[in-house]
Amino acid sequence: MNSISCADGQPMEAILERHPREEASLIQVLQDVHRAYSYLPCDVLVQVAKALDVPVAKVFSVATFYKAFSLDPQGKTIIKVCTGTACHIRGSGQVIEEITRQLGIGPGETTSDMGFTLKTVNCVGACAMAPVLIVGEQVHGGVKPAKVAKALNQEGHRDAH
């Protein structure tokens, strides 16, 4: 596990303001924290535990249970390639290979400039569009390896502004 340095506490305070301070808020708070920091920093988890009066062990349990949460720092943009059955059959493997060729990262890895994290996901429920590639919030359907560069650039472009 990565050792994670102290994060900026400001976003977390704003998040805690928005939710009732009770155990039932835990998942929503974690989702907001994940959105704000792109991952769940451990010192933030400890503070969430205190604020909601939930044992840290419980918070860690929930944080490690859901695939949508990461405890390791992630890239600014998350790339998700669907490897569900339909996407697999229609060539998601080549899409991954192409991303790896362009960015030098495999599934689960992050580029050294913290720009991108590549993840594989199972069926995102859009099989008719297989293979599906999601870059940031942008969903691309019927992706061919040749289209990968454009999809990645679009996102990089957006970041530049």
Partner 1 sequence: MNTLIVNGRHVKAREGAMLLEVIRQAGVSLPTLCDHAALEPWGGCRLCLVDVTRNEWDGWAKMVVSCMFPAEDGLIVRTDSPRVVETRKVVLDLLLARCPDTPLVQKLARDHGIEQTSYQPNPEPTDCVLCGLCTRVCDHIGVSAIATVNRGAGREVAPPFHEAPPDCIGCLACAEICPTSCIPFTTSDSKRTIWGKAFEMVRCTQCGRAFITKEQAAFYDGRNGVPASYFDTCDECKRRAQAQQFSRLSAGAGR
Q: Which residues pair with 82 in a beta bridge?
A: 121
Q: Which of the residues 53 through 92 are near partner 1 (CB under 8 A)?
A: 55-61, 64-65, 67
**Interacting residue ranges for ligand FES, rule: CB under 6 A:** 82, 84-87, 123-127, 130, 132
Residue closer to partner 1 (CB basis): 2 or 85: 2
Cα(73)–Cα(2) distance, rounded to whole angstroms? 8
The shares of helix, strand and coil residues in the chain, as percent rounded to the nearest 5, are 50, 10, 40
How many chain residues touch partner 1 (CB under 8 A)?
13
Q: Decide which of partner 1, ligand FES, none touches 58; Cβ closer than 5 to 8 Å per partner kind.
A: partner 1
86 contact, one of ligand FES, partner 1, none, CB 5-8 Å limit per kind: ligand FES
DSSP 15-41: HHHHS-SSGGGHHHHHHHHHHHHSS--
